[in-house]
Amino acid sequence: GAVVSQHPSRVICKSGTSVKIECRSLDFQATTMFWYRQFPKQSLMLMATSNEGSKATYEQGVEKDKFLINHASLTLSTLTVTSAHPEDSSFYICSANRDRDRYGYTFGSGTRLTVV
């Protein structure tokens, strides 16, 4: 199969602190991973495309200094929410593509971030 592990599943942090979310492809290598944000009762909004060994590609309107993405290996991408504020509270989901034609896109289980 194609498994993507996302950690932590839930995190609560204080305003002004930074939070790191990890996304790992467990049984395949992923040169590209995707980070989405989901607001309550809304669809997924693509934030950025994480590229192994190079800079991430951010979607329009997403602050790259706010949401730092690092894709240091073929199995790990991290999203760091810097100087978090309550409006950053959301559900963050990563995805990776092992073999689109066979598996489709595989998603992590998501991270619920609450900034207090």
Partner 1 sequence: AQSVAQPEDQVNVAEGNPLTVKCTYSVSGNPYLFWYVQYPNRGLQFLLKYITGDNLVKGSYGFEAEFNKSQTSFHLKKPSALVSDSALYFCAVRPPSYNTDKLIFGTGTRLQVFP
Binding site for partner 1 (CB under 8 A): 4, 6, 9, 32, 34, 41-44, 46, 49, 57, 91, 93, 95, 97, 100-101, 103-110, 112
- Least Å from the CB of residue 16 to partner 1: 25
Whole-number Å distance between alpha carbons of 56 and 70: 7
By C-beta, is 16 or 104 nearer to partner 1?
104
Q: Please report how close the Cβ of residue 70 comes to partner 1 at its closest, in angstroms.
A: 18
Can the peptide bond before residue 86 be classed as cis, meaning omega within 30 degrees of 0?
no
Of 21 and 83, which has the nearer Cβ to partner 1?
21
Distance CA 88, CA 80 (A): 12
Least distance between partner 1 and beta carbon 99 (Å): 11
Cβ nearer to partner 1, comparing 57 with 83: 57
CB neighbourhood size of 79 (10 A): 25
Q: Which amino acid is at 21?
A: I
Q: How far is the CB of 65 from partner 1 (least distance, A)?
A: 21
Among candidate residues 108, 114, 113, the one with its CA nearest the CA of residue 77: 108
